[in-house]
Amino acid sequence: MRKISLLAVICGLALAASVAAQQGALQTAASTLGVANIKTLQFTGAGRNFSIGQNYTAAEPWPAVPVKAYTAAFNYDTAAMRVELTREMGPVMPRGGGAPFFGEQRQLQAVAGNYAWNPPAAAGGMAAPQPGAQVERMLALWSTPQGFVKAAMANNATTKGKQVSFTVAGKYKMVGTINAQGHVEKVQTWIDHPIVGDMLVETTYTGYKDFGGVTFPSRIVQTQDGFPTLDIAVSTVTANPMFDAPVPDNVRNAPPPAAQMVASQKMADGVYYLTGSSHHSLAIEMKDHIVIVDLPLGGARAMAVVAKAKELIPNKPVRYVITSHHHWDHLGGIRTAMDEGATIVTHESNKKFLERVAKTPHTLVPDRQASSKRAVKIQTVGDTGRLTDGTRVIEMHRLQGYEHTGDMTVVYLPKEKILAEPDAFTPPAQAGGTLIAPAVPYAKALYDNIQRLKLDVQVITPLHGNRTTDVAEVGRLAGVNATN
């Protein structure tokens, strides 16, 4: 587990002595922001957050979701943070991805020292450990204006003009810009991401004013990988409220994440549905190689899927990996495919992005591609594509009229009459269930495209969900009369 040591951040926060020893921009900021007197802080506001990695095309910003209420609380002495926000969505999702929902959606996030978790939504519930979120949340705590100044003083920051920089836990770099008034204007830091590597997280603060004796920005905008992820108009700020975030016992005692488990279901001779996680894959045997459809989530999952495919189809290399679309959850293992030497088959709109992905620095958490530095091999398709070994045919078709993403490519095996698709239709857990309103247009788009292409689909293997399905169920839940 990646951890930021609590001691590495807060040790030496004897602020009166530190402020006296500091010079220039940092000293001015400490005075202006009242750092020595602020132990805890809370602010509220509203605005938007964004579905990271879910843009309509790889070059567009992340889709925005309204946030009607946002509350963030910090304890700088104990290195703890709690964020609560309420998002709201009508019956139509914004163009692009993100898990569909309807009405209000409440989200809770917490971190304290080396532990991160999502608090229960109701009293008596169980906290959900989130060890993979600890670094990002802790860096967010120290990226707040007062937090940045405190962390800079505790970590022997260097100051050059308006720029203040230091390293947290000997690994995570933070760089801030402080203006002549002592306002922290911008904080940059970098976190690991399985696709884009050392990813820049940049938070900009504007409109500083006095909130009842606390100098704080009235607007906060954060970006990740160059696109906005959070935009909050601050309405209230409270200094030194009673706040801490004690680590729940089940979080503190949580076992390490279990090894990736890949289950398999034989769909036809040489065709295997690989499940066992929230995201699934398809392995297809060709005469002298293997084709995999989607390597999702991250390197660990991707390596487990590749290993399972080779176990089921022995003595053949993975020569092609088909990406259904560019959304980060489905593309998370793509660098494993690159290191494997596989040719990436993807929609033509993704070529430039994947060429960048192959070369992104991964110094925080090096992966196999960071060591091998294999040149990426990309084979693009447009509205249709085809792979064949002379016997088996794999067809690829881009969904049209589909607002979830512009490059969604479904995979169809005409001989086996099997269709693999992610996101457009996730069958309800139980047959006979229904879809929420925002998911219906996606199902309708899938059904319409199957009809348009005249595909004789007998079985659909969704890359989400817990069961296979068919065109009749898609049509019924999309509100049309299914004829296949």
Contacts of 253 (CB under 8 A, 6+ apart): none
Range of the domain at 286: 263-478
Q: Residue 286 belongs to a domain with what CATH number?
A: 3.60.15.10
Same domain for 451 and 421? yes
In a domain? residue 257: no
Residues 228 and 273 both lie in one domain: no
Instruction: Show which of 201, 217, 252 is a domain's final residue.
Output: 252
294 shares a domain with 208 = no
Of 259, 254, 218, the closest CA to residue 236 belongs to 218
Residue 440 CB-density burial (10 A; 0-12 exposed, 13-18 middle, 19+ buried): middle
Check whether residue 222 and residue 309 sit in a common domain: no
Is 73 a member of any domain? yes
Kindly state whether residues 202 and 298 are assigned to the same domain.
Answer: no
User: Do residue 375 and residue 335 come from a single domain?
Assistant: yes
193 by DSSP, 3-state: which? strand
Distance CA(167)–CA(173), nearest Å, equals 4
In 3-state terms, what secondary structure has residue 133?
A: helix
Residue that terminates a domain, selected from 252, 277, 298: 252
Q: How many CA atoms lie within 13 A of 309 on its CB side?
A: 31
User: Would residue 258 count as lying in a domain?
Assistant: no
Q: Is 136 found in the same domain as 277?
A: no
Residue 200, domain member (yes or no): yes
483 found inside a domain: no
Residue 47 and residue 67: Cα distance in Å, rounded?
Answer: 5
Residues 243 and 285 in one domain: no
* Predicted pLDDT at 241: 97
pLDDT of residue 1: 44
Q: What is the DSSP letter of 94?
A: P
Q: Of the candidates 218, 252, 286, which is a domain's last residue?
A: 252
Residues 380 and 274 in one domain: yes
CA–CA separation, 340 vs 290, rounded Å? 12
Record the pTM.
0.92
Structural domain total, the chain = 2
Residue 484 maps to a domain:
no
Asked if residue 56 is part of any domain, the answer here is yes
Query: Which pLDDT value is given to residue 17?
Result: 40
- Note whether 269 and 121 are same-domain residues: no
CA atoms within 13 A on the CB side of 185: 10
Residue 331 lies in a domain: yes
At residue 347, the 3 state secondary structure works out as strand
**173 and 284 belong to one structural domain:** no
Q: What are phi and psi of 212, to 5 degrees?
A: 60, 40
Walk along the chain (484 residues) and give the pLDDT tens digit of each residue: 445 555 455 544 444 444 444 458 899 999 999 999 999 999 999 999 999 999 999 999 999 999 999 999 999 999 999 999 999 998 888 999 998 899 999 999 999 999 999 999 887 899 999 999 999 999 999 999 999 999 999 999 999 999 999 999 889 999 999 999 999 999 999 999 999 999 999 999 999 999 999 999 999 999 999 999 999 999 999 999 999 999 999 999 999 988 999 999 999 999 999 999 999 999 999 999 999 999 999 999 999 999 999 999 999 999 999 999 999 999 999 999 999 999 999 999 999 999 999 999 999 999 999 999 999 999 999 999 999 999 999 999 999 999 999 999 999 999 999 999 999 999 999 989 999 999 999 999 999 999 999 999 999 999 999 999 999 999 999 999 655 4
State the pairing for strand pair 418-421/459-462: parallel
Residues 232 and 324 in one domain: no
The predicted pLDDT at position 386 comes to 97
CATH, residue 36 = 2.50.20.10
